[in-house]
Amino acid sequence: MRAFVVTGPRRFAVLDVEPPVPGPGQVVVDVERAGVCGTDMEFFSGEMAYIEEDNARYPMRLGHEWCGTVSAVGEGVDGGWIGTRVTGDTMLGCGRCRRCLGGLQHVCEDRFEIGIRGGWPGALAERLPVPVTALHVLPDAVDAVAGAMVEPGGNALRAVEAANLAPGDRLLVMGPGTIGLLAARFALAHGAEVHILGLSEPSLEFARTLGAHGAWTSDRLPDLPYDAVIDASNGPGLPSLAADLVEPGKRVVYIGLAPTASAVDTRVLVLKDVTAVGILSASPGLAGAIEHYASGSVDPRPLVAAVVGLDEVGEILSGSRPAGAGPGPKIHVDPRV
């Protein structure tokens, strides 16, 4: 089968590789759609911390946002899975440790991460091996575009849930990327007043078309009481700003990662009685994201700007946008093209 392979920093190829064979407890999924995200770009550039920590090594097969159809099952897996449309969890815990047994497999010390950690091959390929326990069935109402947005949606939904918003509360989302915009959509569906902080006017204008009540650059951000702040940016200075802007007694949620260390003055958190929450992984939010998509309360599809084939992935990871791409931040890949 064909797969996109990163062989080193900024080195890549689309190669013919051996197709996966499902092991015990596993299935093989024919990939219909996969998303390209910032984590993939960090691996491509060589800047991802997992490489330095030896949690990931080249060559790598990227891709952890995906959907497809089960085409084969391994020993111990019900054959009824064949033909089922699915997406799946990225975080594959060992299943034996205290964290896994406590429902926290996404922070298992010995976890694999599909397309990210431990050498588990990713979804930028025609087929993908997945443990059956990681699968989530996609209802007919969730098409391929939305299906490949479940993983980022699960992250965004968890961030909104952590913000503990009541209907009518005011939320500030820092960063109009995929996670930030999805968080805005989930918060809007919950009845919140949503404002977005960003850098460029085109991205902010796109946020307004998605229903944001306000979208601002830092010099125009209104002096309003924010009941929660979600930092979905990669700006090293924004975690501190988030703590400064949130109302006393309320919540700051950190889901973005800066390329360098960020400083937060804990005196601000203590003296304002602020709760700060960190979010890693979509795992506990996947089912909820699917439910929102299926019901139509949140539509992630406008965020997808273009769909390309495997041969174009290298250009995307290098920072190019396809000709004719829409205004959204997300690029999808159809490995069958």
Q: Where are the domains of the chain?
A: 2-149+300-333, 153-278
Assign 183 to helix, strand or coil. helix
CA distance 328 to 180: 12
CA distance 337 to 324: 17
Mean pLDDT of 133-139: 98
pLDDT-above-70 percentage for the chain: 100
CA torsion, ordered 283, 287, 288, 292, to nearest 10 deg? 130
Q: Please tell me what DSSP assigns to residue 165.
A: P
pLDDT(75) > 90: yes
CATH class of 2-149+300-333: alpha beta
pLDDT(14) > 90: yes
Assign 189 to helix, strand or coil. helix
Bridge partners (DSSP) of residue 30 are 69, 127
b/e sequence 127-150, b meaning 16+ C-beta within 10 Å: bbbbbbebbbebeeebebbbbbbb
pLDDT(160) > 90: yes
Q: Fold for 153-278, please state it.
A: Rossmann fold (3.40.50)
pTM exceeds 0.85 for this model? yes
CB 112 within 8 A of CB 104: no
pLDDT(333) > 90: yes
Q: Cα 119 to chain center, whole Å?
A: 19
pLDDT tens for each residue of 231-256: 999 999 999 999 999 999 999 999 99
| Torsions phi, psi for 117 (to 5 deg) | -130, 135
Residues 6+ apart with CB under 8 A from 212: 184, 188, 194, 195, 196
What per-residue confidence (pLDDT) applies to 259?
Answer: 84
Q: What token pair was written down for 69? A: 């159809």
What per-residue confidence (pLDDT) applies to 279?
Answer: 98
Residues 6+ apart with CB under 8 A from 124: 3, 4, 34, 36, 40, 61, 62, 63, 115, 310, 313, 333, 335
CA torsion, ordered 124, 126, 130, 132, to nearest 10 deg? 140
What per-residue confidence (pLDDT) applies to 306?
Answer: 98
Label the pairing between strands 226-231 and 246-254: parallel
Bridge partners (DSSP) of residue 216 are 197
Name the residue with tokens 């009481």.
225
- For residue 278, how many C-alpha atoms fall within 13 Å in the half-sphere facing its CB? 5
Mean pLDDT of 98-120: 96
What per-residue confidence (pLDDT) applies to 260?
Answer: 87
What per-residue confidence (pLDDT) applies to 113?
Answer: 98
What per-residue confidence (pLDDT) applies to 120?
Answer: 98
What per-residue confidence (pLDDT) applies to 137?
Answer: 98
What per-residue confidence (pLDDT) applies to 229?
Answer: 98
pLDDT tens for each residue of 196-222: 999 999 999 999 999 999 999 999 999
Spell out the alpha helix ranges (H) of the chain: 38-45, 49-52, 98-101, 144-147, 150-163, 178-189, 201-209, 238-245, 266-271, 286-295, 313-317
What's the chain's average pLDDT?
97
Bridge partners (DSSP) of residue 124 are none
